[in-house]
Amino acid sequence: MTTYSAVRTTGIYCRPGCGAKPLAENVRTFELAATAEAAGYRACLRCRPYRVAGAVPEDAPELVCRAVQLIIDGVLDEATEDAVGAQLGISARHLRRLFADHLGVTPDGFARSRRAHFARRLLDDTDLGIAQVAFASGFGSLRQFNRAMREVFRAAPSDLRARRRKADRLVADGGLVLRMPFEPSYDWPAMLDALRVSAVPGVESVVDGVYRRTIVLDGDPGMLEIGPGGDDHLLLRAHLPYWEGVIHVVERAARLVGIDRGSPGVWTPLEVAVAAVADDVAELVRRHGTPVAGLGFGLTHAFPAAEALVGEPGPVGEVARAVLDGRLRTDELPASAVRRLSAASR
């Protein structure tokens, strides 16, 4: 797991491997960048810790992990901590206490840090305008965006864009290209093999060392391409109908290729649940998926929405109905949801 070293005498925190050599007695260690920021430290300009993939401590309780997942999925973009607590069946006060005890930062502080770090990556890697960066990162307004960037990075977004290094900008001939950082233990070739085995025909493919899949955002189709980028990152090329909230697309893509846990995830719980109970997923995709033309690489459809599957007999229809009526929760581990739904539908 990534840990961050903060130096009391400078007020700066660094990623592992930074060339700075402070005295050991002046160093504090944090497991989250957001926690270091909540304690008053700012990111190192040399090692740029916002470019490192961080993860919630492994010993955090399940309730905290579920809350973190809801935040990553964007619950706090337009709502309050009360909304997160309500989905978990606890009060906002209890939620804040859990975050303070186990993460050292409030839910709002955690969300603000993630949005600010993602925005800084967009400022470095892309030529998106300042307003586009703000809304792509999940901020509700430019005022909120500017305030958060000043709090986290001590500078305005325009100044941060001016500081980017020549090698940061990713030149693309189509789509939005972003780095997806990973830790040294991550094994992309092994992950690619696992994704190839489980790929849904028409929806996913692995060709020439690149994983591709179709997605749907608010009814409009898109495509993601994920491939090797460097010793510490993959490259994601996103072809999307719009950039607003792209932070959540990138987070889901990182979970899908297992950057956070080293094993493949899923795009949605619906997909893994349907795959567990359907006799022929490819046929379901052909009959109910949204056709997407002209992509190549064997990609022809987006995975069917739950609404399109409710009329299917047997377990597939039950899974779809469970998604629509809330019995299949999007913040649950897919495996546990699949086991319960499979048993209930027999």
Average pLDDT over residues 108-112: 94
What sections of 129-207 are H helices per DSSP? 130-136, 142-153, 157-162, 188-198
Give the model confidence (pLDDT) of 317-326 as tens digits.
998 998 888 7
Q: What are the residue boundaries of the structural domains of the chain, listed by start? A: 4-51, 176-242, 269-345
Q: What is the pTM assigned to this prediction?
A: 0.81
Q: Which helix (H) or strand (E) holds 153?
A: helix 142-153
Which tokens go with 259?
A: 């950057």
Q: What is the pLDDT of residue 268?
A: 85
CB 53 within 8 Å of CB 260 = yes
Type of residue found at 200: V
43-57, 151-165, 306-320, 329-343: least confident range = 329-343
Report the distance separating Cα 340 and Cα 264, nearest Å.
21
Which tokens go with 164?
A: 């980017």
Report the distance separating Cα 177 and Cα 256, nearest Å.
17
Domain 4-51 has CATH 3.40.10.10: yes
Tell whether the model's pLDDT for residue 179 goes beyond 70: yes
Strands 12-14 and 4-7: antiparallel
Give the model confidence (pLDDT) of 30-78 as tens digits.
989 999 999 999 999 888 998 876 778 878 899 999 999 899 888 998 8
Report the distance separating Cα 200 and Cα 190, nearest Å.
18
For 277, the 3-state DSSP assignment is: helix
For 346, the 3-state DSSP assignment is: coil
Type of residue found at 297: F
Give the model confidence (pLDDT) of 273-287 as tens digits.
888 889 899 999 999
Domain 176-242 has CATH 3.30.1600.10: no
